[in-house]
A and B are shown apart, each in its own frame.
Chain A
Amino acid sequence: MSELSVAEFRAGVRAWLDSHDLSVSGSSVSGSAEGSLDGQVAQLLRVRAALYDAGWMRYGWPASVGGLGGPAMLRAVLGEEVATRDLAEPGIYSMVEVLTPTMIAYARPSLAASAVPLLLSGREQWCQGFSEPGSGSDLASLSTRAVARSDGAWVITGQKVWTSLAQYAARCVLLTRTSPGHGGITAFFVDMSSPGITVRPLRTMHGVDEFAEVFFDEVVVPGDRMLGRPGDGWRVATDLLPYERSTCFWHRVAYLYSRLDRLVEAASSASSGSAGGLRGGGVVADDGSWDGADVAALGAAYVALHTLRCRSLVTQRRLASGGTLGPETSVDKVLLASAEQQLYDTARDLLPGMVELTSSSWRTEFLYSRAATIYGGTAEIQRNIIARRLLDLGME
């Protein structure tokens, strides 16, 4: 395969997406109503399948797992197009970005070769069993136990929580405790159909049951499903941060830009349209004039998003030039969470009543943005990392 430049790839993806309608409205999938999680997941798998069959989804991954090679940046470009066109919810679209590198780095080569194409092609959805009721920010204290059996299999008992899409998942990358301390965490690739696994979706504030509790009751996992060696689990968990904070973040930034555009459009629409007595429009006066404070708020949201995009670009370039990503990605994480909340705060201000009085996607997205400073390592944990590792302030 000849090496594809990023620009050529982007042009190719755009041309292909222009002639292949993968949007929700162009879908024949039943129940894909906006906001319904079943619909979102069905749409996600449909988009993945189409992009995989056309080859786009395979670029940026090595041939050893069914990929077509090329730099990882191609995946960021593809995800940006998917997010910009609203083809799939970016959070769940980006899950492959952390799951696949884990498999490439830690699964037996034959297991990675057979399993990864199932994920990339949309035939399966997977999940990540990390957090526990007693182990949130302090992930290394996790206590789901894995005990070796004499025949080489492992028996797993415990509980996970905040497991995204567990109810749709065929497999789980699971962190377990095999001995005390950071060095006593071991990862497995577990079939969710295994006897002894119970999934209970969690109701969340924004009304989408994206997260679940997962119970493991003496679940037997073959020894060859271990990822890496006993005690490698903490590395499995920390190694995926660079992927989450480069490619996934680029996708999310693209998505937030699409929402900023949408906000400007909606806020500009003055009093046109109404929803059951709600004025239904934005803050623009009937003569089309804007209040200065509203313009300033939009500008501030734009400055924050632009700053984030520039920072994310620096991170992408460092990764592309062979650099390793470490604690400095906590800066990206803080910028992202802050910019996201600022954008949706501005949306709530500039579309009065939209969040409170209508069941629009603005409400769902506004509520979800409240979690941006919590998931993936809280804002406080990020600042702790920045203080200790980047500012070298010593221990607390």
Chain B
Amino acid sequence: MTAVSHPAGAESADPAELALLAETFRKTMSAASGQVLDLALDQLGWRDLLASLPGVAIPMVFRLLGETGAHAPILNDVMLCVAGRAPGDTVPLPYAGGSWVVWERSDWRSGALDDELPLRPVAGDGGPLPLPLGAGRRAVGWWLVGTGRAMLALARSHALDRVQFGRPLASFQAVRHRLAETLVALEGAEAALTAADALGGASAGGLAGDDELAALLAKAAAGQAALTAARHCQQVLGGIGFTAEHGLNRHVRRALVLDGLLGSARELTREAGARLVAERSARRLVDL
């Protein structure tokens, strides 16, 4: 593994170099998870990349976590970066329903639905959030989309391989339409996340709070898309998708847990509605 460094403050990076970097991240995530992956990502330059090119680092790395099914406690780094603190520590994260969790940087086995994730519930006062959540919501949003893509890939190959009534499942329109619906939801969420990344990176232009609102809407769309993917893909996979030995259930668990992190799709959708009611008009947020 080679460490990749980036000049701080660089506005963009060479696409070929980024593709190579993404490939390296992907290989690493396919081989490691948790604490080991946390250390490996640091060695690969994750923290430097986050500091210098957050608009590149967040979509690339979090989406890959979803696609590969790996996990690492690096949402902490994103939040610490927002707080102007050094990476490597932990920070309490709001969870759905007013709960708070700490994403431990160890391989502690939690009691979460997705017990691979070392999420420790902590007491929170439910008071005002100490930090803007936009960057973190974009990160979890990309992770949800990646998880959705992983589920879609599993369901797609099953539909092509599995034969019933003498035909592949993929030849049945009911199955095809579920998978098509899944792709539509994921593509839409990805577009919303891309727009939120652009607004999150631009300090000038737009109304105050546009970046936070765009991140909120994108996280809502991403959570919804991942839940849509979980429902359709589990149905397409049939019985095998309900077994513990098939990989789908890990992604389903992850999607459910990540949806609640930094606000669930349901909560954020309602918050978007409350904003709309308060402002009496819908912010356009993105323009040609």
Contacts and interface: CB of A to CB of B under 8 A. Distances in A.
A33 interface: no
B188 A387 contact: no
A268 B187 CA distance: 33
B192 A307 contact: yes
A303 B265 CA distance: 10
B217 interface: yes
A260 B160 contact: no
Given A303-B269, A331-B184, A310 B192 contact: yes
A384 B277 CA distance: 38
B259 to A, nearest CB: 14
B37 interface: no
B147 interface: no
B184 A335 contact: yes
Given A307-B221, A387-B179, A394 B184 contact: no
A155 B282 CA distance: 53
Given A297-B273, A303-B224, A257 B171 contact: no
Most buried by B among A261, A298, A310, A386: A310
A383 B269 contact: no
Interface stretch (A22-30, A42-50, A311-319, A367-375): A311-319
B282 A314 contact: no
B224 A391 contact: no
B286 interface: yes
A380 interface: yes
Given A268-B280, A302-B282, A387-B179, A331 B188 contact: yes
Chain A interface mostly helix, strand, loop or mixed?
Answer: helix
Interface in B40-86: none
B188 A307 contact: yes
Contact of A335 (B180, B188, B266): B188
Nearest to A316: B288
Interface string A118-154: 0000000000000000000000000000000000000
B272 interface: yes
B277 A298 contact: yes
B173 A302 contact: no
Contact of A299 (B183, B274, B280): B274
Contact of B282 (A264, A380, A391, A396): A264
B171 A295 contact: no
Contacts of A295: 270, 273-274, 277
A311 B171 contact: no
Contacts of B189: 307
Interface in A154-188: none
A113 B287 CA distance: 32
A75 B168 CA distance: 45
B187 to A, nearest CB: 5
Interface string A292-311: 10111111101101111111
A309 B288 contact: no
A288 to B, nearest CB: 10
A331 to B, nearest CB: 5
Given A299-B271, A314-B191, A396 B280 contact: no
B212 to A, nearest CB: 14
Interface residues of B, number: 44
Contacts of A309: 284-286
Contacts of A296: 266, 269-270, 273
Nearest to A315: B191
A166 B194 CA distance: 41
A192 interface: no
Given A290-B277, A384-B176, A303 B221 contact: yes
Nearest to A80: B288
Nearest to B214: A306
B124 to A, nearest CB: 22
A301 to B, nearest CB: 8
B218 to A, nearest CB: 8
Interface string B158-190: 011000000010111100110111011001110
A387 B177 contact: yes
- Most chain A beta-carbon contacts within 10 A, residue among B189, B195, B270, B273: B273
Interface string B248-274: 000000000000000000101111111
Contact of A396 (B176, B194, B270): B176
A362 to B, nearest CB: 17
A383 B180 contact: yes
B202 interface: no
The 8 closest A-B pairs by CB, nearest first: A299-B273, A387-B176, A386-B180, A299-B272, A310-B191, A295-B273, A383-B180, A311-B191
Interface of B: 156, 159-160, 168, 170-173, 176-177, 179-181, 183-184, 187-189, 191-192, 194-195, 217, 220-221, 224, 266, 268-274, 276-277, 280-282, 284-288
14 contacts: A257-B284, A264-B277, A264-B280, A268-B277, A299-B274, A300-B269, A302-B217, A302-B272, A307-B191, A382-B180, A383-B176, A384-B173, A386-B183, A386-B184
